[in-house]
Amino acid sequence: MKRKWINRFLEALKRGASAICKKVLRLLLVDISIIAVAYFAALFLRFDGSVPSYYVNMLADKMPMILSTYVLAFIGFGLYTRLWGYAGISDFLKVFYGNVAASVLTAVWGYLLSWQLPVSIYLIGWMTCFLSTVMIRVLYRLLGSKLYEEGGEDTIECPRVRVMIIGAGATGDILIREMMETKSKHIPVVVVDDDKDKVGSSLNSVRVRGDRHEIPKLVEEYRVDEIIIAIPSASLEEKKEIAEICMQTGKKVKRTPPLHELIDGDVSMKTVKEVSIYDLLGREEISLNDAEVFQYIKGKTVLVTGGGGSIGSEICRQIAKLGVGRLIIFDIYENNAYNLQQELKMAYGASLDLVTLIGSVREKERLESVFRDYSPQIVFHAAAHKHVPLMEESPYEAFKNNVFGTLNVVRTAHEFGVESMTLISTDKAVNPTNIMGATKRIAELIIQNYSSISSTKFAAVRFGNVLGSNGSVIPLFKKQIEQGGPVTVTHPDIIRYFMTIPEASKLVIRAGALAKGGEIFILDMGKPVKIVDLATSLIRLSGYEPNKDIMITFTGLRPGEKLYEELLLSEEGLTATHISKIFVAKPAEYDPEFERKIEHLRHVVENKDENLVDVIEYMIGYNIKKTRNYEGGSPS
């Protein structure tokens, strides 16, 4: 135990010694002067001004040892590794402990070496040293506050980052204190808060100057380099509004995590992250922590087709947290499947029963072997071709994968008595104007028809675009920005519904737990977003000015592309569920001719001997926009 404390003390000495610089040397010289004066003053007070020369000579002779003792104690307690211009209560407690330790050691030396100084000298010397060293550091503290109000100065060997804090609450207070008490390159120069009662006050000596509407003006006035939004309890909509104001300044914008992301409620500069495009959606976090979802997943064998894709992989991540009995990743693309497998193994080790299989949903025999070997109880079907322009060029491949791949999974699930199967659909299935949307609408009809004849609970979940998923506009825009632009948008008025990958995946799992059979669940996608606004926000988040540093160009609508997407067919109706953000469309009636229709479609896809669009329209009962004439002999 003694060795442990000795090692700590030596380590503190080492840190203290390495921290000495010009400013520290000045403070050290001031401390030495204070200590010397304090002890001679103690002698003067002890003898009421009439000090015998013997004691003066004795004290002068022992002063080097006294000074060494104090300096070593001060270094050991870290008094020369702190930025006293920004000191807090804990720092002044260090001064107290350092003075106590030094005076006790000095008294011990006096006793052991028979200095013959009056005992009261040590007590008076300690008091005068403590008060004097505290006073000099209070002056440093006051000077530090003055520097902050004036914009600060570089006190360490790297450029200072001038920070605006938004939020004069507990979180802002913690961040400002951390910046002041550590050797941070960040220096808080101004605080903003919408509470008028706080405007004009100070937070750790940093002035609260105005509300959110004054952010642009204050950024210029205080020469701000970085803005931190420190309001973890604020709604996402409020944070979004503030972030949009901040982005217009062209400065780097960061945020503290929301309360549910904080570990034990701890906030620090390490938890601060850059504002991302996901923050600008203003969508509330979805939780899966309820008995209904746990009961649905816990202890079950779950198969996720397309498990290595952007949606499928996130479904796997969420399921892994819910006590799944066995998780089966099924994907045609081995690299994605392998990467997810390694990620989950690192996260859960042997506690997660994980199986990773390579295969295609087009091959029913492969599916049958998987179902036979592993007996999945729950299936999430995420395997699909989803790129609208690519599927316009290769329509028959779209049908082989999205329609007949789905049919294979549905039939296999039915044959093996799976408890439930959930299809991942899309808003493009509603009144489709392209091949991809049409294939997804037919996949929905497969689900609904089989639910009428099967004990398996078949359901589909329909939602819009997912931010950051493979092939979404976000990765494309980011790449275009990295290359210096231009950022390409098809039309100035095009709008889309968006949600994040985790939100979409959680809602899919929730919908699966709700399914009774035949439902098409529709997720509340919030307000639609103009794609040009999304591009503008991404450019600003990257530190550029739209149409100045990075241009935005319009290329025209692509084949099969709509200006806007819909989530509901007019005949479907919509009913709310007891789960927020999940609605259910009225199930379609069973079509006894469906099997004949689907087999006719298979014949057309395999033989390419009829116009594909005519067959699609016959199946879905909707006059699909004929952007192309898919006659027999198409290159795909």
Q: Which residues contact 403 (CB under 8 A, 6 or more apart)?
A: 439, 442, 443, 446, 598, 601, 605
529-530 and 519-523 beta bridge pairing? unpaired
Here the tokens at position 18 are 């390495």
CA distance 359 to 314: 19
| One-letter amino acid for residue 391 of the chain | M
Bridge-partner residues for 507, per DSSP? none
Q: Which of 239, 252, 300, 428 is catalytic?
A: 428
How many residues can be counted in the chain? 636
Which three-class secondary structure state does DSSP give residue 424?
strand
Residue 185 a catalytic site member: no
CA distance 461 to 422: 7
Q: How many CA atoms lie within 13 A of 414 on its CB side?
A: 19
**Residue 228: which H helix or E strand, with range?**
strand 226-229
Cβ atoms of 636 and 628 within 8 Å: the answer is no
CA distance 496 to 463: 11
CA distance 421 to 20: 67
φ, ψ of residue 402 to 5 degrees: the values are -75, -35
DSSP state of 234: S
Q: Where are the alpha helices (DSSP H) in 272-425?
A: 291-297, 310-320, 334-348, 364-374, 388-393, 395-398, 404-415
Which three-class secondary structure state does DSSP give residue 422?
strand
Here the tokens at position 7 are 């090692």
Closest to 156 in 3D by CA, of 267, 24, 281: 24
Cβ atoms of 197 and 171 within 8 Å: the answer is no
Beta strands in 240-300 (DSSP E): 252-255, 273-274
Cβ atoms of 237 and 251 within 8 Å: the answer is no
Closest to 31 in 3D by CA, of 87, 112, 95, 121: 95
Bridge-partner residues for 553, per DSSP? 488
Q: Which residues contact 515 (CB under 8 A, 6 or more apart)?
A: 420, 422, 457, 458, 459, 521
| One-letter amino acid for residue 504 of the chain | A
Closest to 403 in 3D by CA, of 389, 391, 419: 391
Closest to 496 in 3D by CA, of 537, 534, 546, 547: 534
Closest to 16 in 3D by CA, of 93, 73, 85, 63: 73
> What Cα–Cα distance (Å) separates residue 356 from each residue in 167, 304, 322, 410, 512?
47, 10, 18, 21, 22
Torsion of CA 480, 485, 488, 494, to 10 degrees: 100
DSSP state of 467: E
Locate tokens 């098809």: which residue? 490
* Catalytic residue list: 428
